[in-house]
């Protein structure tokens, strides 16, 4: 889709005893089994966060034939005491950084961690990948990185592989809050022969498999950042943002929400509006960053709404599978009212999501006695309509 250098944080000494169960979003550890020696530690719901390189975690075994190489100590919890970030100079730029590194001269970054995000019953595998760019490839929320996988371009022998674009799933400060890392949300692309039903490794996604198979210390070639369509408008901190995602399309929205609800950006952005996320996936085990989103819901009930469309577990009003467009129709009166009041609406995910969504919005508009074409034209003119599909 379209650090290891963790700054000057104090050293951490940790002794970890794993809990009896593994959560699908990472390894669960008992708070009283961790001994800390840190001066400026960060707290999330009375749980302490530590930089990954200070922790020795055994590889998590996954139920599929593929194995992510490491489980990252991801920040999945948040509290009303927001996390201080640095350097705040990252908020001073007036324009987003664009194409600092190009395909012919990419930036060599380093993989920090790879974490399987989904449970055993999810179709396919999705990983959260943290990349150390050393502060040299800054970006804004809603932008994308290009990744050049190793190897030759099969269509152009002797040339490198083509660039693949991935939406960035973190804020400009990264998961380590120091401006040195960026995170990607990547689903491993595999191909199954329709006749035999068996996987054909020769047709697997080159870049997604490279990323999901990578391990800490591996090098990665980055281009970008790119994109302005999905930038989070911050001129009005009390604005309404309606976010509609399928699968890994949730990546930019994770960045938005961490900026709104997790980070303390004292110099600029203090969100006081409404953020409403619609996420469509196959089933509960396929939910991405669900713990983070549920904590925002708990701690900021007046500023965050979260609706899930689980196609293999829920039914729409007609008895069919529940998709994001069905959720949009369910709340259509509220959504149209918010759009009329200036709300921004974002769509990110597989391009196949848009026809169904457009049909639903058109039908709802007609039921309300409105012209959808005219309404859509006005939304685009007002820069309220943001779409990035792949």
Q: Helix %, strand %, coil % for the chain, to 5?
A: 25, 30, 50
Our CA angle for 139, 105, 215, nearest 5°, is: 70
- Average pLDDT of the chain to the nearest whole number: 82
- From the candidates 113, 144, 167, 286, which is the catalytic residue? 167
**Length of the chain as a residue count:** 390
Predicted confidence at residue 140, as pLDDT, reads 98
**187 assigned to a ligand binding site:** yes
- Asked if residue 311 belongs to a known ligand binding site, the reply is yes
Q: What is the pLDDT of residue 195?
A: 72
Report the pLDDT value the prediction gives residue 193, as an integer from 0 to 100.
65
On whether the pTM is more than 0.85, the answer is no
Provide mean pLDDT across the span 137-160.
94
Catalytic residue, from 101, 166, 296, 346: name it. Answer: 166
161-188, pLDDT tens digit by residue?
A: 999 999 999 999 999 999 999 999 999 9
Nearest to 184 by CA among 152, 206, 214: 214
Nearest to 240 by CA among 387, 388, 384: 384
- Beta-carbon contacts of 213 under 8 Å, excluding residues fewer than 6 positions away, are 66, 69
201: confidence class by pLDDT, cuts 50, 70, 90: low
State residue 363's pLDDT score. Answer: 94
Residue 80 banded pLDDT, cuts 50, 70, 90: low
Of residues 9 and 374, more confidently modeled = 374
Q: Is 185 a catalytic residue?
A: no
What was the pLDDT predicted at 136?
Answer: 98
167 in catalytic set: yes
77 pLDDT higher than 70: no
Peptide bond into 87 cis (omega under 30): yes
Residue 350 known to bind ligand: yes
User: Between the CA of residue 51 and those of 82, 181, 193, what are the distances in Å?
Assistant: 17, 12, 42
Residue 200: what pLDDT?
65
pLDDT tens by residue, 300-328: 999 999 999 999 999 999 999 999 999 99
Cα dist from 323 to 136, 188, 254, 315, 389, whole Å: 39, 22, 20, 9, 16
Residue 126 pLDDT greater than 50, yes or no: yes
Instruction: Tell whether the model's pLDDT for residue 89 goes beyond 60.
Output: yes
User: With bands split at pLDDT 50, 70 and 90, how would you rate the model's confidence at 267?
Assistant: low
Contact by Cβ (8 Å): 117, 24: yes
pLDDT for the residue 266: 67
Position 112 pLDDT exceeds 80: yes
pLDDT confidence bin for 270, thresholds 50/70/90: confident
Model confidence at 26, pLDDT cuts 50, 70, 90, reads: very low
Reading phi first (left if > 0) and then psi (alpha if -120 to 50, else beta), residue 27 is in: beta
The CA distance from 298 to 316, in Å, is 26
Cβ atoms of 183 and 176 within 8 Å: the answer is no
CA 337 vs CA 88, 122, 332, 344, 365: distances in Å? 36, 35, 8, 12, 11
Tell whether residue 120 is among the known ligand binding residues: no
Q: Give CA separation, 326 vs 53, 210, 296, 322, 373, in Å.
A: 43, 35, 24, 6, 20
Eight-state DSSP code of residue 12 = -
Between these two residues, 72 and 195, which has the higher pLDDT value? 195
At CA 273, angle to CA 271 and CA 279, rounded to 5? 100
Is 248 one of the annotated binding-site residues? yes
- For 312, half-sphere exposure in the C-beta direction (CA atoms, 13 angstrom radius) is 10
Q: Do residues 225 and 142 touch, judged by C-beta distance below 8 A?
A: no
Question: Quick one: pLDDT at residue 139?
Answer: 98
127 part of the active site: no
For the question of residue 166 being annotated catalytic, the response is yes
Residue 13 annotated as lining a ligand binding site: no
Q: Catalytic: which of 107, 269, 331, 390?
A: 390
Query: Is 321 annotated as ligand-binding?
Result: yes
pLDDT recorded at residue 59: 36
Active site residue 390: yes
Mean pLDDT of 364-376: 95
Q: Is 7 a known ligand-binding residue?
A: no
């Amino acid at each position: 889709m379209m650090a290891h250098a963790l700054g000057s944080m104090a050293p951490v000494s940790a002794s970890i005893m794993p809990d009896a169960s593994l959560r699908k979003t990472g390894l669960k550890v008992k708070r009283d089994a961790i001994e800390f020696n840190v001066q400026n530690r960060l707290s999330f719901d009375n749980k302490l966060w530590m930089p990954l390189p200070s922790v020795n975690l055994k590889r998590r075994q996954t139920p599929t034939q593929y194995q992510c190489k490491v489980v990252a100590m991801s920040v999945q919890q948040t509290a009303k005491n927001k996390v201080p970030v640095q350097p705040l100079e990252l908020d001073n730029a007036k324009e987003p950084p664009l194409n600092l590194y190009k395909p012919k001269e990419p930036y060599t970054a380093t993989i920090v961690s790879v974490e399987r995000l989904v449970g055993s019953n999810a179709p396919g595998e999705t990983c959260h990948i943290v990349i150390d760019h050393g502060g040299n490839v800054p970006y804004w929320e809603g932008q994308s990185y290009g990744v050049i996988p190793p190897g030759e371009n099969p269509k152009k022998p002797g040339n490198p592989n083509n660039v693949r674009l991935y939406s960035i799933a973190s804020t400009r400060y990264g998961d380590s809050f120091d401006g040195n890392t960026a995170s990607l949300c990547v689903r491993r692309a595999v191909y199954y022969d329709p006749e035999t039903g068996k996987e054909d490794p020769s047709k697997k996604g080159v870049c997604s498999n490279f990323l999901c198979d990578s391990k800490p210390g591996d090098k990665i070639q980055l281009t970008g950042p790119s994109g302005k369509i999905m930038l989070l408008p911050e001129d009005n901190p009390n604005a309404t943002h309606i976010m509609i995602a399928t699968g890994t399309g949730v990546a930019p929205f994770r960045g938005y929400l961490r900026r709104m609800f997790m980070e303390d950006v004292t110099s600029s952005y203090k969100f006081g509006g409404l953020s409403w996320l619609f996420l469509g996936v196959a089933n509960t085990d396929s939910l991405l960053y669900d713990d983070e989103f549920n904590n925002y819901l708990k701690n900021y009930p007046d500023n965050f709404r979260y609706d899930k469309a689980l196609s293999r577990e829920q039914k729409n009003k007609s008895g069919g599978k529940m998709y994001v467009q069905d959720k949009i129709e369910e709340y259509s009166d509220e959504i149209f009212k918010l759009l009329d009041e200036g709300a921004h609406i974002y769509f990110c995910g597989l391009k196949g999501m848009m026809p169904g969504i457009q049909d639903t919005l058109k039908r709802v508009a007609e039921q309300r006695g409105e012209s959808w074409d005219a309404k859509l034209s006005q939304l685009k003119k007002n820069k309220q309509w943001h779409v990035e599909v792949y």
